[in-house]
Structure 1
Amino acid sequence: MRQRHKPWADEFLQENNHLVVPRATDHRQNWQKVFGNDKPIHLEVGTGKGQFLIGMAKQYPEVNFIGIEISKSVIVSAAEKVLASGLDNILLLNEDASDLREMFGENEIATLYLNFSDPWPKNRHEKRRLTYQSFLEQYEEILEQDGELIFKTDNRGLFEYSLVSFTDYGMKLQEVNLDLHAINDETNVMTEYEEKFSSKGQVIYRCRARFGNSSI
């Protein structure tokens, strides 16, 4: 769904640059300083309107959360919700996540979330999928040695592709769940898309994986 243009978005972002941090590359390897503490950092790529991030930040106050979203109109909606929540363990970035290594240093992220990413179903677009090898190389670099990648989708084709991609890259699959909501995981925080799809009876898939250098 196309987001309605918000002509006031630039002014809003400037007024709230303590939350939507500009020039993310300036803070590479220093995100704990930006938060003002030494808590572990969890990163969501494609945070949408922020429902998942806010739910996680409430559930895990001992963790710092960063959400990246390329759409200015969408990140503004997320920021409004974060401000209303009063949470202080969330930061947002209005950035293109094509190379996360420009914004995050080696071993800087404890957990990375990919929630309902664009499946890019055509073969010629394979390299755009966020579970393609070139993206996995980025994740491996910015994640801690024992860091975890958590991937959720409603798209069976993308899920199967991603499992093969993870395995071929040498990752260790910690969980492969073919019907997430069937297990009644009370810790699961749903995204906006997840609520929409699951309410229509669509199956939600989840995978947890770690890179081969992990000691776990």
Structure 2
Amino acid sequence: MSQTSGAPAPTKPSNWNLPNALTVLRIVLVPVYGWALLHDGGESIEWRTIAWGIFFVAMITDKIDGDIARARNLITDFGKIADPIADKAITGMAFIGLSIIMDTWWMWTITVIVLVREWAVTLLRLSVLKAVVIAAAASGKWKTATQALALGFLTLPLREVGDEVEWLDVPGEITWYVAIALLLAAFALTLWSGYEFFRDVWRQRDVIRKSSAT
């Protein structure tokens, strides 16, 4: 005679939780950040500073909501979908907005390549890779951190502020070049981590093919 356990089946966490609320907040902040960044053609010191504050809040909440979700077992299907979308939306808005402001061929080239890579990886993770675990590589984590630093610095009115406050001209210029160096490093890490991701996907192509057929 078989015996069944009296332990109740684990219940799925509700989508109405703090991590998901922070994720939704990040999505809502995307157009607000874009508007502040591009206000007055990106020449406004005040609005560029506000845009930086919004970007900072978005990056901090990205870290906080993940930590809370894991610590309190609040990982939901909605969060798995919305969280990467929120991340790519805010960084994508930053890349596009900064490309509009800087209006250089090399910035637009970086933006297009980065966005194609980011959304290709995200869409793959959300679709055909549901049954396959592709672990996040260390290069991807470094890419995310370097990218956030670069976009955050470039959001600030580093060159514009020197026109208003003379003594900030040189520090602003130096910080701008540091930000460009970080951007180039993030771009290189984006290409490398993208290569690692698609390499790992190719190695597991048989598993992916079988999971897609079922």
* TM-score of the two chains, using structure 2 as the length reference: 0.25
Structure number with higher strand proportion? 1
Structure number with higher helix proportion? 2
* TM-score of the two chains, using structure 1 as the length reference: 0.25
